[in-house]
Structure 1
Amino acid sequence: MQRRSFLTLAALAPPFAPLAVRAQGSGASAWAPHGPVRLIVPFAPGGSQDVLGRLLAQAAAPILGQNVVVENRAGAGGVLGAEAVARAAPDGLTILLATAGQLTIAKAIGRRLSYDPITDFTPVLYLVDSPVALLAAPQLNVRDAADLLQRARQATQPLPYASTGIGTNTHLIMEDLKAREHLNVEHVPYRGAAAAFNDLAAGRIALMFVSVPSVLATDGTQFKVVAVTSRERFPATPEVPTLSESGVKDFEASIWTGLSAPKGTPAPVVARLADAFREAMASDLLRARLGGLGVTPNGADGTAFGAMLQDDLERWTRVAAPLHIQLD
């Protein structure tokens, strides 16, 4: 599918319904930040997570009554940014734009960490989900995801699949699918999606998972999008079926983003931050941009976000265990 088609569909999709904003009780409204709030984005400027963080900061600032300053702390797969938040005072003035790369996957693959990604943070808010797209090389001439998976099962030689790096979402999601569907595929890691796309177009790679934002950033001529990993079809690509629809029952995977604060952040502070950023997610500014970023809003509270983190950690620990990943 070509990029123009993706963007057109995103523009035509109905706007996201406003997220329900909790009425602020006395506990939540009793706290207000006494200085600028630092939103640590554990990635370099310019990527989709950085764009999301800056939009959130812009929308949340007037709600909180203080500036929200984005601070990029890239490095070690986002671990450096998470370290900065884990060491910060639990006063609500430093929060993390969290993804699995710093929290659940980081621990699941055995990365050496100076923090515990579960116990050293307080979950604040589950922000958004981004599904992952399953792509096939054009030379395969597959009809759909079911055809692709059948070929991978019956392949006499392993089909090479690309990921955006060892121990990344795209690596572990494919390994999970491989185990569930008994696929004869072999991992070829890349440093990012661009080089992998080139080899997919040339037929040196047969298939891969990649984030929807990465697909949106291409013209789509070098691959065939056969499925997405969300529970329901993605609003910007309604013609692309889910993997569950394609016969892989209950297979879902998301590149999620949430907000986390340092351990020990008081409950009223967490509640106020959650209310403010939930309201920011419902703003016209965010609603107009989320589709183009390839994400859908979630808005679950800290308790639900924390439960998801536990489930996510268990899943990726199970998937990573037989891979014996060594990164440090």
Structure 2
Amino acid sequence: MQRRSLLTLAALAPLAARAQGGGNPGGGTPGSGNPGTPSSGSQSPAAWSPGGPIRLIVPFAPGGSQDVLGRLLAQAAAPILGQNVVVENRAGAGGVLGAEVVARAAPDGLTLLLATAGQLTIAKAIGRRLTYDPIADFTPVLHLVDSPVALLAAPQLNVGDAAELMRRARQAPQPLPYASTGIGTNTHLIMEDLKAREGLNVEHVPYRGAAAAFNDLAAGRIALMFVSVPSVLATDGTGFKVVAVTSRERFPAIPQVPTLIEAGVKDFEASIWTGLSAPKSTPAPVVARLAEAFRGAMASDLVRARLDGLGVTPNGADGPAFGAMLGDDLARWTRVAAPLHIQLD
């Protein structure tokens, strides 16, 4: 496992015992608390206890990697909070429908969003019609995990590494077709960012998902593509060559694959991140208690045992740091998307 992940897990480890031990570590009585003011001189997260079951809105259909992650976290966080954490799938419009539910919810800590860029930063960057402000209408609670994307090359190209693939793309007399999992998705915008930075002669071919794109990549109808690491891990690895990942350090589940930074693209990182968000105006003691509980869930054996298989690494940054990342992410994808004139609605 990469050094950053080890350090993150070490920092989370003291909370794991609470996640394993069950009960309500804050000493409050489950079901009794309202999001109120901590006792005088105290800012302890344990000052708040949820007054009922917590809804964790997962803005995707059941069965995908985000849904699996959400259910694991819900199971591990429940004994820490002393209340059930119930996953509610609200798929549609790239996750926007689920985000709308949370944006309209009361700021009482009982409705949370398993947030990704598709509902927040990318949604605004590509000009989706939103009934909420993806920054102002949510309170960032915790940056949960990150997953890089993998750069794949068609076997017919017979390239040895990412540097050779990019050299071919720069020198190609005709644009090389690249696949994405849809217009305005992470895999589309990450390739457009790399294209602009490295002067690649590539042309976008959107697909509705990874499966059909994999088939065309194997057949040579597509030359290259970015795809999520979980999608790569779910295949047998035939029909394409994985030439790079977009993390700063090599990804633990596929340590033999170098990073794009190693291939010479200075400081190029891109993450399919997942975070935890609450409605705006959620009181600070509530946010702190939720962050503590979900950190404990992340550090639990139940969750840690599944992270590599899900293609993610733990992050654990607190609300202010998560909020700062959201601002940076929005600025980046707004810059990348502006010349593409994407129209989805």
Q: Shorter-chain TM-score category?
A: over 0.9
Q: Distance in 1 between matches of 2:273 and 2:183?
A: 19
Secondary structure of the residue that 2:91 maps to in structure 1?
coil
Q: What residue number does 1:100 align with?
A: 117
Q: 1:58, 1:68 within 8 Å by CA — same for their partners in 2?
A: yes
The residue number in structure 1 matching 2:318 is 301
Task: Look up the equivalent residue of 1:17 and give its one-letter code.
Answer: L
Query: Does residue 147 of structure 1 match 2:164?
Result: yes
> Who wins on radius of gyration, i.e. which is larger?
2
Quick check: 2:77–2:294 contact (8 Å CA) kept in 1? yes
- Cα deviation 1:220-275 (Å, max 9, x = unaligned): 10100000000100011111000000111100000000000000100000000000
| Contact persistence 2:8–2:315 (CA under 8 A) | no
SS, match of residue 123 in structure 2: helix
Match in the other structure for 1:5: none
Runs of 4+ with deviation above 4 angstroms: 13-16, 21-26
Q: Is the 8 A contact 1:16 1:287 kept in 2?
A: no
Name the residue aligned to 2:243: 226
Matching residue's letter, 1:68: V
Question: Could you say what secondary structure the match of 2:106 adopts?
Answer: coil
Q: Structure 1-normalised TM-score?
A: 0.94
**Aligned equivalent of 1:260:** 277
Distance 1:302 1:15, change over 3 A: closer
Question: What are the ranges of 5 or more consecutive residues in structure 2 without an aligned counterpart?
Answer: 16-24, 27-41
Matches of 1:184 and 1:211, distance apart in 2: 22
Q: Are 1:15 and 1:288, in contact at CA under 8 Å, matched by a contact in 2?
A: no
Q: Contact 2:8 / 2:316 at 8 angstroms: preserved in 1?
A: no
Distance in structure 2 (CA, Å) of the matches to 1:113 and 1:81:
12
Report the number of matched residues. 318
Does the 8 Å contact 1:85/1:94 carry over to 2?
Answer: yes
Correspondence 1:41 to 2:33: no
- Report how far residue 318 of structure 1 moved: 0.1
Are 1:251 and 2:302 an aligned pair? Answer: no
Answer yes or no: is the 8 Å Cα contact 1:18–1:283 preserved in 2: no
The residue that corresponds to 2:9 in the other structure is 17
The Cα of 1:16 is off from its aligned counterpart by 7.5
Q: Secondary structure at the match of 2:317?
A: coil
Alignment match, 1:190: 207
Question: How far did residue 301 of structure 1 move?
Answer: 0.0
Of 236, 241, 248, which aligns to 2:253? 236
Match of 1:310 in 2: 327
Answering whether residue 104 of structure 2 is matched by residue 112 of structure 1, we say no
Superposition deviation, residue 28 in structure 1: 1.2
The amino acid that maps onto 2:210 is A
Aligned partner of residue 119 in structure 2, secondary structure: coil
Q: Distance between the aligned counterparts of 1:114 and 1:19, measured in 2?
A: 37
Displacement of 1:26 in angstroms is 4.3
User: RMSD between aligned alpha carbons?
Assistant: 1.8
What is the CA distance between 1:287 and its match in structure 2? 0.7
